[in-house]
Structure formats: C-alpha cells, structure tokens
C-alpha cells in the first residue's frame, strides 16, 4: 500500500500560476534575447511532525563543496553537470577547473572561489525570501525563474544574469536546447510543472518521479549562461516548500553518490529517468521514510 507524503495539515499546495511572458528582453531593454520502482513511504502523521526548517546553508545549494560552479559557455555546474567522456581532453581540464577559472564581474576579475562565496550569500537571501512566503503563494513562472538568477548573480554579472542565455552551450556530452528555444521551452516547463503538481498522486514514488523530472528537464533546457545548477536547486527547494515538505538533499558531495547522479542525468537525456527517479527516491526516503 502506498502511503501519503502530504505535508503539514495534509493540505495540498495551491496551483502554480503561469504567466504567458518569458524573460526575453525587448529591443528597448539592455540586449535582445533571441530567442530545458522502488516502493517506500511515510505516513501523514510522521510527516506532519517534521518541521519546515530550511537550513540557509543547506548542503548542495551553494558553496564550493557542492560543486556548483561551471565554465561560462562550457561545462555545466559540477553537481548538476556531466562528467566528460573518458577520452575527452575536457576531462583533464575540468579536474582543476574550479581552482583556476575566473570571472569578469562588475567589480573586476574575481576567482571562482571568491565568486562562489559571494553567490552563497545571495543564495541564502533568496531561499529566505522564498520560505518567508506562504507555500501556496509561490508562483513558478519564467519571470520568477529569471528573477532568481538576477537575485543571486545580477549584481556581479548585470550584462547577462538578468535574462535567459543568448548563446548556445555544450554541457559535457550534452548540447542543451538552442538559445532561441529557451524562452518557449521554459514556458512549457512551467506549464508542465503546474499540471504535474496539480495531478500529483499522494505517494512517494510519484513524488520522486516529479522531482527527477524537474531536476532533469530544467538542466536539459539549461536556461542561463552560468549558475543554472544553483537555480535548479533553488527551484527544487521552492517546490519542497510549496508541497509542504521538509528540506531534502538536492546535491550530494559524496563522490560515489555524485557519480551515480551524473550517470542518471545522462540516462535522462536518452529518455530514461528510472535511475534519476531512484536517486530522488533515496533522497526522499531519508527524510520522509523514517
């Protein structure tokens, strides 16, 4: 028998609203943006006793240990990225990528480590603002997603951290959707997410399937030049809160678990989300299955 995963007071979260507009800029704005079965369960009573406390330094959201960096125009953020093929020249380059890369920011050239520290602070503020709302008031739209990116990186990168990417990127072995399709793909993502949440079955397998789909699909669209991984993990945290769930791990720092996750993401690109669903089922079970 499949048991409930519903959150506090057994209330279903309110619907996710969608706005028809995307984060495209008009010509009168900055630049034109031309336009990604195991069975386990937890009872409602157990879950209702869990406090909706979101640790601001939640593992996997930001910071150097989460591997959440990534090369602009190139390699996806570590924990949300892809390991290069064994025979790829990129493999050796990415080993020390975080320690050697630098960014041209509004405050001059900064090393990755410094940028990561600054972003960790803004990520905390963004998460605080999300959980300060009522869960049912969280509205996932393309504009909201763009605002997340602006809020965490806009001060450092005002030229491009305020809108969807306007370049094509390659993420390890994956070539994400072309830049000109990002606005429509993001809108469709929000519409699909709304439908999936409104029709979510009340069991943990269904929850894991939803989280796996969100995780993979957002990364596949790869809507921003950089820091897409951070935004994806903030988005997942917002979904946990909206569904009245306690915080759940969004990115493991354990090498074995990270490799398993990256392999599951690659399989997702082939249309097989089974392994990624298992990864999320394990994460969910650690929090809700006790």
Q: Which of 62, 35, 93 is nearest to 230 (CA)?
A: 62
What the block records as the tokens of 161 is: 């951290």
Query: What was the pLDDT predicted at 94?
Result: 34
Query: What was the pLDDT predicted at 5?
Result: 65
Per-residue pLDDT averaged across 48-77, rounded? 35
> Mean pLDDT lowest for which of 75-84, 109-118, 126-135?
75-84
The pLDDT > 70 percentage for the chain reads 65
Three-state SS for the chain is CCCCCCCHHHCCCCCCCCCCCCCCCCCCCCCCCCCCCCCCCCCHHHHHCCCCCCCCCCCCCCCHHHCCCCCCCCCCCHHHCCCCCCCCHHHHHHHCHHHHCEEEECCEEEEHHHHHHHHHHHHHHHHHHHHCCCHHHCCCCHHHHHHHHHHHHCCCCCCCCCCCCCCCCCECCECCCCHHHHHHHHHHHHHHHHHHHHCCCCCHHHHHHHHHHHHHHHHHHCCCCCCHHHHHHHHHHHHHHHCCCCCCCCCCCCHHHHHHHHHHHHHHHCCCCHHHHHHHHHHHHHHHCC
Q: What are phi and psi of 86, to 5 degrees?
A: -55, -35
Size of the chain, expressed as the number of residues it contains = 290
Query: What was the pLDDT predicted at 4?
Result: 61
Q: Tell me: the pLDDT tens digits for 223-250?
A: 999 999 999 999 999 999 999 999 999 9
Per-residue pLDDT averaged across 125-145, rounded? 95
Q: Tell me: the pLDDT tens digits for 168-209?
A: 988 888 889 999 999 999 999 999 999 999 999 989 999 999
- Give residues with Cβ within 8 angstroms of 227, minimum separation 6: 68, 70, 77, 119, 149, 152, 153, 161
Query: What was the pLDDT predicted at 101?
Result: 77
Over 60: is that where the pLDDT of 85 sits? Answer: no
Q: Which of 60, 62, 81, 61 is nearest to 70 (CA)?
A: 81
Output the average pLDDT for the chain: 75
Q: How far apart are the first and last CA of the chain?
A: 16
Question: Domains in the chain, start-ordered, CATH in brackets?
Answer: 8-32+42-288 (1.10.3290.10)
Query: What was the pLDDT predicted at 69?
Result: 33
Q: How many CA atoms lie within 13 A of 277 on its CB side?
A: 16
Per-residue pLDDT averaged across 99-105, rounded? 78
Query: What was the pLDDT predicted at 253?
Result: 84
């Amino acid at each position: 028998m499949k048991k409930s995963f519903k959150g506090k007071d057994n209330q279903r979260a309110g619907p996710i609203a969608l706005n028809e507009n995307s984060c495209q800029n008009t010509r009168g704005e900055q630049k034109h943006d031309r336009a990604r079965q195991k069975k386990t369960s937890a009872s409602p009573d157990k879950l209702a006793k869990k406090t909706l406390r979101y640790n601001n330094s939640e593992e996997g959201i930001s910071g150097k240990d989460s591997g959440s960096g990534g090369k602009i125009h190139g390699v996806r953020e570590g924990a949300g990225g892809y390991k290069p093929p064994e025979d790829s020249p990129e493999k050796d380059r990415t080993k020390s990528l975080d320690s050697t890369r630098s960014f041209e920011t509004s405050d001059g050239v900064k090393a990755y480590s410094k940028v990561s520290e600054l972003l960790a602070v803004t990520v905390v503020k963004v998460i605080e603002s999300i959980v300060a709302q009522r869960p049912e008031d969280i509205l996932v739209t393309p504009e909201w997603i763009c605002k997340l990116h602006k809020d965490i990186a806009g001060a450092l990168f005002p030229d491009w951290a305020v809108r969807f990417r306007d370049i094509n990127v390659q993420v390890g072995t994956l070539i994400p959707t072309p830049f000109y399709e990002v606005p429509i793909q993001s809108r469709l993502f929000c519409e699909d997410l709304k439908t999936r949440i409104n029709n979510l079955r009340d069991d943990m397998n269904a929850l894991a399937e939803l989280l796996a789909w969100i995780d993979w699909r957002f990364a596949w669209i790869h809507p921003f030049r950089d820091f897409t991984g951070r935004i994806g993990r903030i988005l997942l945290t917002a979904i946990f809160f909206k569904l009245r769930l306690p915080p759940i791990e969004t990115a493991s720092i354990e090498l074995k678990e990270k490799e398993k996750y990256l392999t599951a993401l690659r399989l997702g690109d082939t249309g097989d989300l089974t392994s990624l669903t298992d990864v999320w089922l394990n994460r969910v079970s650690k929090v809700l299955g006790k």
